[in-house]
Amino acid sequence: MNKLAEQYANEIEAILAKYPPEHKRSAVMPLLYLAQREGGFVSKRDIRDIAEICEISTSEVASLIGFYTLYHDEPAGKIRIQICNDLPCALRGADQFLNELCDALGIQPGETTPDGLITVEAVMCLAACDKAPMFQTQTGEGIEYHENMSVESTLQLIETWREKEAAQ
């Protein structure tokens, strides 16, 4: 039984309608996004379900998750802060920014804060080299970009997220 197809039947049908039947595999990325929308990650079962829907192997689905920074195969904080630290951004202080932010939060890159709200990750190329240090945030609500950031401004932003979370 394909749980993903059962849960999101109409949305999957709409996604598949965009592609010729012989090219179902082209729907993998929108299906990955759909699968992780609610929980913030794609489970092993979701990988199997997507592979079945697209008639490809689970390895092909998993390889996309491993390649793209927008897809995740493990749970994390409600908000993922993905800091670009490729060479151009590193030259503008991204590595130092990453380390200082993690120190301030009491975590290492790739870890989640004890309150479960924030996961900080290093990623490659978010296409804003001239505005580093910069990061994107991923939540169930979407993606936002934050450019020309400092540790202080980022900690203030995190505090507003914590206040918002506490108010819910």
Host domain of residue 15: 3-67
Based on the structure, what is the number of domains in the chain? Answer: 2
Query: How far does CA 168 lie from the centroid of its chain?
Result: 23
Sheet holding 142-146, edge to edge: 118-123, 79-84, 135-139, 142-146
Distance CA 149, CA 137 (A): 13
Kindly report, residue by residue over 16-31, the tens digit of the pLDDT: 999 999 999 999 999 9
Asked if residue 2 has pLDDT above 90, the reply is no
Kindly report, residue by residue over 51-80, the tens digit of the pLDDT: 999 999 999 999 999 898 889 999 999 999
Distance CA 107, CA 114 (A): 9
Hey, is 39 helix, strand or coil?
A: coil
Domain limit, last residue, from 67, 95, 123: 67
Kindly report, residue by residue over 77-100, the tens digit of the pLDDT: 999 999 999 999 999 999 999 999
Residue 106 lies in a domain: yes
Which two structure tokens, joined as six digits, stand for 166?
């506490």
Kindly report, residue by residue over 38-48, the tens digit of the pLDDT: 788 999 999 99
Residue type, 58: T
Angle, helices 151-167 vs 94-105, to 10°: value is 40
DSSP-derived letter for residue 143 is E
Domain limit, last residue, from 38, 67, 96: 67
Q: Which of 34, 29, 26 is nearest to 2 (CA)?
A: 34
Distances (CA, A) of 140 to 18, 33, 56, 120, 155: 24, 10, 27, 16, 21
CATH number, domain with residue 41: 1.10.10.1590
Distance CA 68, CA 123 (A): 10
Residue 149 near residue 140 (C-beta atoms within 8 A): no
φ/ψ of 11, rounded to 5, equals -65, -40
Residue type, 75: P
Residue 72 lies in a domain: no
Same domain assignment for residues 59 and 85: no
User: What is residue 40's predicted lDDT score, i.e. its pLDDT?
Assistant: 86
